[in-house]
Amino acid sequence: MADKKRYGFVIDISRCIDCRACQVACSVENSVPLNHTRIWIHDQGVQGTFPELSRTFVPYNCMHCEHPPCIEVCVSGATYKDPNNGLVLVDQEACIGCGFCVEACPYEARYLDEKRGVVDKCNGCIQRVEIGQKPACVATCLGGSRLFGDLNDPGSDASIALKNARSVFRLDVEGKNIDTDPNIYFVNAPKSLTSLVTSDAFKQQGKAVPRAPEYTISEEGWKKVLVPAIAAGIGASFLVQATYFTKQLIEGEKEFDE
Amino acid sequence: MSSHKNISIVERRRLREKKYKKHNLANILTHWFNVAMWALLLPTGIAIISSPRLGLSPLWMQELFRNMFGGAANLIKFHYTLGFIWGFVLIFNILVGFRKYFVPFAVKRMLLDKDDIQWLMIKPIQMLGFMKDKELPPQDAYNAGQKLYMYVVILGTLGIMVSGPVMALKTLFPPILKQIAQPLHWLSVFAIVAGVIIHVYMGAIFPEEKEAFFSMFGGNVSAWYARAHHEKWYWEKVQEEMDWEEEVGRQIQESSESKKPSTHSQPSL
């Protein structure tokens, strides 16, 4: 058992019946505005040919990644990964609601709360977990599809389900500078399900996750154009100043020659 | 106008003793208020920018300031509060002194003329060590380099004052503006900082400009300094002085003429 907690979700796909009670429970618990939701249930649609049909529902929310792309772009440090429990949280007092992180998240797990001018997302119901309760979505899941627990603790619900699983897959995003390493483990999925991207129906909704992280023009321009330009400017200015100062130190000052 | 290098030793002594007023109290106070605010706002601002992708501020600095203020939210609130005070006071000062200081300053001191452009062509080459014998054209109260820096400061200050509130008043503005405001704020600050490095060196350390430094406390520079560095402004001052002498001379004459009848009428009473 490791010292630090690593909270994560284990989602048993074979047990989800698409009742969406978890969405309601989450919105009530966390006062989520009516036009938004922090968690989703993705419908893969009917698959196969008659009479061998199947339909799969994939509940998901913030993956609480080990290496989250959202933290990489947060300018004020409002989004952070809690060092004690591994949850990715938003300090909404520090958040200015610019939405850099909304674009960067490969799972579309964040939304902008227009009224409060901040970004909001799943916080793993940390307010419940800290007093020993399960997150609202997990507590309300009647099929027992959603499980939550410390993945570093082999005795937790999540770890036991993960150990007994027939199959496990994650929506990992790996690329040039990115490896999200998500902390949602999907278990007991049908073999056809390897990624949410495979579904054509899902793509048509314009919501194929995971996607590559996106960076806005202002963020990209800041990083690639402004930073080098200003670095050159400050460098040149400092160099001139340093040259003259060195010259002054070497030559000394004469009182009557100003 | 001949070069100040030909001035005789007696004249130099006289010019050294003589003082001209360069900065008035309002400008001095505003300048040092600005310095104090920048000294507080710049480090807290740098400490806020924590994005690892941009990598603009060192981790120790982020942690130091977050610990000092008790978390990111408090640090940001401090920066906002101070920023609004800074903006308010500067705008207030400009509005109060708009007709007396700002308009004359903008009209008489800021525009670049032919001499300034020539100065800008010669000076950078001289700084690289060439054309040392070529004489610089006479300069106004602020030389061409100072004028250019002034434009950077004014544009940068406007950029900061526009982009800052957009980020601070987060419920009023749409996300796209907040996204643009961040690099704009940062660019404005560091364009000014690039100039400030030179400004502080020239103002406080560079030996030839020592009088400029003390003029930011007392407001006065010697006539010799004015003659050597800001020749056009020096002649302007001399002209003002001559006008004043003429005016006072006329007033004395007038008052002595108007007194004459009264002295005549006195004995008849």
Residue pLDDT, tens place only, B31-65: 999 999 999 999 999 999 999 999 899 999 999 99
Output the pLDDT for position B266.
Answer: 55
What sign for the dihedral angle of Cα B59, A8, A195, A205? negative
Nearest Cα to Cα of residue A168 among A3, A10, A42, A4: A10
Output the pLDDT for position A150.
Answer: 93
- Mean pLDDT across the stretch B232-259? 88
Residue A141 forms contact with B (CB below 8 Å): no
Q: Evaluate whether B196 touches B129 at the Cβ level (below 8 Å).
A: no
The percentage of residues in chain B with a pLDDT greater than 90, rounded to a whole number, is 47
Q: Evaluate whether B47 touches B57 at the Cβ level (below 8 Å).
A: yes
For A81-140, give the DSSP string.
Answer: E-TTT--EEE-TTT-----HHHHH-TT--EEEETTTTEEEE--TTHHHHTTTPPPHHHHH
Q: How distant is the alpha carbon of residue B9 from its chain centre? A: 32
Q: Which chain A residues are within 8 Å of B52, Cβ to Cβ?
A: 71-72
Whole-angstrom Cα distance, residue A159 to residue A163?
6
Angle CA(B37)–CA(B41)–CA(B43) in degrees, nearest 5? 130
pLDDT at A66 over 50: yes
- Domain carrying residue B222: 4-260
Whole-angstrom Cα distance, residue B48 to residue B46?
5
Nearest Cα to Cα of residue A202 among A70, A54, A47: A47
pLDDT at B89 over 80: yes
pLDDT at A50 over 70: yes
Q: Which chain B residues are within 8 Å of A91, Cβ to Cβ?
A: 71-73
Specify if B269 maps to a domain. no
Q: What is the pLDDT of residues A109-146, one digit of tens each?
A: 999 998 999 999 999 999 999 999 999 999 999 999 99
Specify if B218 maps to a domain. yes
Tokens for A246, please give them. 């060195």
Residue A222 C-alpha, separation from nearest chain B C-alpha, in angstroms: 6
Which of A73, A77, A95 is the closest to B62 by Cβ?
Answer: A77
Output the pLDDT for position A145.
Answer: 93
Residue A192 C-alpha, separation from nearest chain B C-alpha, in angstroms: 36
Q: How distant is the alpha carbon of residue A226 from its chain centre? A: 27
Whole-angstrom Cα distance, residue B138 to residue B61?
45
Specify if B98 maps to a domain. yes
Q: Evaluate whether B175 touches A98 at the Cβ level (below 8 Å).
A: yes
Subunit contact A234:B193, Cβ cutoff 8 A: yes
What sign for the dihedral angle of Cα B235, B237, B238, B242? positive
Q: What is the pLDDT of residues A196-246, one digit of tens each?
A: 654 455 555 556 677 788 898 999 999 999 999 999 999 999 999 998 888
pLDDT at B164 over 60: yes
CATH of the domain at B58: 1.20.950.20
Residue A212 forms contact with B (CB below 8 Å): no
User: Which chain B residue has its CA at the smallest distance from A69's CA?
Assistant: B53
Q: Evaluate whether A107 touches A218 at the Cβ level (below 8 Å).
A: no
Radius of gyration over every alpha carbon of chain B, rounded to an integer in angstroms: 25
ipTM surpassing 0.90? no
Residues 212-231 of B with CB under 8 A from A: 224-225, 228
**Who's near B120: CB < 8 A, 6+ residues apart?**
B144, B145, B148
Q: Evaluate whether B16 touches B224 at the Cβ level (below 8 Å).
A: yes
Q: Evaluate whether A212 touches A106 at the Cβ level (below 8 Å).
A: yes
> How many domains does chain B fold into?
1
A79 pairs with which residues across the strands?
A90
Subunit contact B194:A230, Cβ cutoff 8 A: yes
Subunit contact B71:A94, Cβ cutoff 8 A: yes
Q: What is the pLDDT of residues B194-221, one digit of tens each?
A: 999 999 988 888 877 788 888 889 888 8
Output the pLDDT for position B237.
Answer: 86
The percentage of residues in chain B with a pLDDT greater than 70, rounded to a whole number, is 95
Peptide bond into A51 cis (omega under 30): yes
Output the pLDDT for position B1.
Answer: 45
Whole-angstrom Cα distance, residue A127 to residue A25?
14
Residue A202 C-alpha, separation from nearest chain B C-alpha, in angstroms: 27
Q: Hey, how many other C-beta atoms are within 10 angstroms of the C-beta on B172?
A: 10
**Who's near A120: CB < 8 A, 6+ residues apart?**
A32, A36, A38, A90, A92, A110, A111, A112, A113
Task: Please provide residue B3's backbone torsions phi and psi, each rounded to the nearest 5 degrees.
Answer: -70, 150
Q: How far is CA B15 from CA A204, B219, B228, in A?
A: 83, 17, 10
Specify if B152 maps to a domain. yes
Whole-angstrom Cα distance, residue A94 to residue A104?
18
Which of B54, B211, B225 is the closest to A222 by Cβ?
Answer: B54
Nearest Cα to Cα of residue A167 among A143, A192, A150: A192
Specify if B268 maps to a domain. no
**Confidence band of B267 (pLDDT split at 50, 70, 90):** low
Q: Evaluate whether B197 touches B222 at the Cβ level (below 8 Å).
A: no
Whole-angstrom Cα distance, residue B54 to residue A220?
9
Q: b/e map of A123-148 (b: 16 or more CB within 10 Å)?
A: bbbeebbeeeebbbbbebbebebbbb
Phi-psi region of A75 (alpha: psi -120 to 50; beta: other; left: phi over 0): alpha
Output the pLDDT for position B50.
Answer: 92
User: Which chain B residue has its CA at the smallest distance from A115's CA?
Assistant: B171
Residue A237 forms contact with B (CB below 8 Å): yes
Q: What is the pLDDT of residues A180-206, one digit of tens each?
A: 889 999 998 877 666 665 445 555 555
The DSSP code for A188 is S
Tokens for B206, please give them. 């560079």
